[in-house]
Amino acid sequence: MFRRAAARRGFSHARPVSNSLVKLYTRAGLLSAADAIFRESLIKDVVSWSVIISGYAQEGLAEEAFALFAEMLHHSSCSRPNEFTLASLLSVRASAAALDTGRQLHALAVAAGLEHHVMVRSALVDMYGKSGSMSNADVVFLHRMKDDVISWTAMIVGYAEHGRSKEAIELFEQMCHAGIKPDHVTFIGVLTACCHAGEVEHGLRYLNAMSTTYGLEPAKEHYGCIVDLLGRAGRIREAEELIARIDHDERDGVVWTSLLRACAARAEEEPRKKAAERVMEAEPWGAGAHVAMANLFASKGQWHEAAQEQHVMKQKEVVKGAGCSSVEVGGKDRGIGVFVSGDRTHPQDNSIYGMLELMYYGAGLGRCTPDHLGLEYELEVTVNS
């Protein structure tokens, strides 16, 4: 509709207008519409290319983004990428954790004289961090000319994601000390680090500091980290109290699932039942509660109970991930049969993969590799007990 209005007024090929339109459509998730406008515009400048590349990048469509980038470079009227173009390309590679492409983009940034731009720099820090190359991230980070919260956050998240919780927490402290104000995303990073490290007191202190010191209202993501943290420490009661502080319509299955897992691990029957009910309420269509419980039973070698969860799941025909796969455990006399069925098990359907892995392990079959998925097969194993 915006497009038509713009066309009526004769603006459809005025670059700033069509560029903004393309952005609007990509933001709304309407990539094909955005692409159509982009293709229609007669004159494309660096902004036009950057906007459409960013649109594909944000959807995680790396191939398309890079194909457009190549096309852009071959386009005679517009050959030079700018900091926006590079930052978008780096972000798509950052999520795919592809270090090689990232390095090439780094080289390109240097060649284009854009390596010191704050936007390019933070995108580079993120790319190296996501790729697990913290030493490279550190180099880019240390040579910064000017502080900005996004680069600091990218570093903190990088450490947190790679299990280096201590460094993540230290960096967060340094950042606050340097007078940089952390924001919501920074707190997600540092709270995740606390969660991985089991640093309950640190975590609680930071959650508290969010509102008291920094004037930030914790969101469900922040509470979720702490619920998980408290739950693992066996502090179920406190975790429940924390959940009560989350806005009612913000409470989702994730936070209840964390609690459910914690309760089940400690055989806390009452809160466990409640948590399971809440997960079901929040995600009646999902497999969340069943998967959490089946995983837990399987990890304890309680195959019969795990099988029951699977059975319920099967009866309810719950949707799991892409919804084209299923795992079943059927109790036999002395063993369990595991089979994977469906057209093709979705590789991203990690909950099923994790469950299979546990079952293989429990059955003394060793590890389950991704090759085991995507095949239709049935196997029977004997479990001693």
Partner DNA sequence: CTAGGGTTAG
Chain residues binding DNA by CB under 7 A are 15-16, 19-20, 23, 45-48, 50-51, 54, 57-58, 82, 84-85, 87-88, 90-91, 94-95, 118-119, 121-123, 126, 130, 148-151, 153-154, 157, 161, 182-186, 188-189, 192, 195-196, 219-221, 224-225, 228, 232, 254, 257-258, 261, 295, 299, 350-351, 354, 357-358
CA distances from 65 to 62, 85, 87 (A): 5, 10, 12
> Which residue has tokens 């084209």?
324
Q: How far is the CB of 194 from DNA (least distance, A)?
A: 11
145 vs 333, which CB is nearer to DNA?
145
214 vs 339, which CB is nearer to DNA?
214
188 vs 207, which CB is nearer to DNA?
188
Question: Which two three-digit tokens encode residue 378?
Answer: 């049935």
74 vs 367, which CB is nearer to DNA?
367
Q: How far is the CB of 333 from DNA (least distance, A)?
A: 27
Q: How far is the CB of 282 from DNA (least distance, A)?
A: 12
Helices (H), the chain: 2-8, 15-27, 31-40, 46-58, 62-74, 83-96, 99-111, 118-130, 134-142, 149-161, 165-177, 184-197, 200-212, 220-232, 236-244, 253-265, 269-282, 288-299, 303-316, 350-362
Question: Which two three-digit tokens encode residue 347?
Answer: 């590789």
Q: How would you label 348-377 residue by residue, b for 16+ Cβ within 10 Å and e otherwise?
A: ebebbbebbbbbbebbeeeebeeebbeeee
Q: State how beta strands 326-331 and 377-382 pair.
A: unpaired
127 vs 271, which CB is nearer to DNA?
127
- Can you tell me the distance from the alpha carbon of 284 to that of 306, in angstroms, rounded to the nearest whole number? 20
Q: How far is the CB of 21 from DNA (least distance, A)?
A: 9
61 vs 332, which CB is nearer to DNA?
61
Q: How far is the CB of 152 from DNA (least distance, A)?
A: 7
Q: How far is the CB of 322 from DNA (least distance, A)?
A: 12
